[in-house]
Amino acid sequence: MQRNVKQNWQQLPTEFYTRKNVMTIAKDLLGKLLVTRFDGIVTAGRIVETEAYNGAVDKASHAFGNRRTRRTEIMFANGGSAYVYLCYGMHHLFNVVTNTAEIPHAVLIRAIEPLVGMETMLLRTKKNKLDHSITKGPGNVSKALGITTNHTGMSLLKDELFIADDGFAVKRNMILATPRIGVIYAEEDALLPYRFIMKGNPYVSGKKS
DNA sequence: CTGACGATTCACT
DNA sequence: GTGAATCGTCAGC
């Protein structure tokens, strides 16, 4: 499998995550690499779809109204940690905690384009063919990269689970902002353009292949 | 302790 | 387009 892979990427520093505007961070995460190195096995992909969750004032956020529970506690930590939770009893959704302590911002990574460790991704997802479905949608991203709720709270500044910049340049006209997926319960906040996608990328979730 | 439900996915009509 | 799978979390009693 993938061991000792050459790293021409630079891990994002804490200052990337502690910024105050979560929509800006969600946009800046497009084009970056989400990397896992569990048991020495590297898998990575380029982020092509994200969603911002704007903390206490966002009805779509688990931390709306500063609601603190065992599950959401990590969102109140300083930026740069993982928030992973179980959705529908079977899907592990990976989020990046942002802003400083006590401000529960987060960015959901909804899709990546596989770059490193595709064989491992195929094993984890029990697929035998590398098609777009392997990392399209937040549940599939976590499955392919081996991320589970056991990783919630993990620091993104260490070397098991992190995000990196490989110099890939994302131009403004490559990005599209849309309403978020699956948050109709959020009433007026459901329509906010807090979802960011790389225009035309085949790994972006939603309609068409 | 109990029940309702979800930041989803996939197979099937 | 519709519905099942599947279980941790959380509000309410």
Residue spans per domain, chain A: 2-198
| Residue A209 confidence (pLDDT) | 47
Please identify residues in chain A, positions 12-41, with a C-beta within 7 angstroms of any atom of strand B.
none
Q: Find the nucleotide nearest A69 (Cα to C1′).
A: C10
A120-165 residue pLDDT tens: 999 999 999 999 999 999 999 999 999 999 999 999 999 999 999 9
A22-42 residue pLDDT tens: 999 999 999 999 999 999 999
- Whether pLDDT at A166 is above 80: yes
Quickly give A71 CA vs B1 C1' distance in Å: 20
Other CB atoms within a 10 A radius of the CB of residue A172 amount to 6
Q: Is the CB of A86 within 7 Å of strand C?
A: yes
Amino acid A10 reads Q
Residues A81/A86/A87/A92 CA torsion (nearest 10 deg) = 70
Beta bridge partners of A43: A36
Burial A44-78 (b: 16+ CB within 10 A, else e): bbbbbbbbbbbbeebebbbbbeeeeeeebebbbbb
Q: Is the CB of A98 within 7 Å of strand B?
A: no
- Let me know if domain A2-198 sits in CATH 3.10.300.10: yes
- Whether pLDDT at A3 is above 70: no
- Whether pLDDT at A1 is above 60: no
* CA A117 – CA A83 distance, rounded (Å): 23
Whole-structure pTM value: 0.95
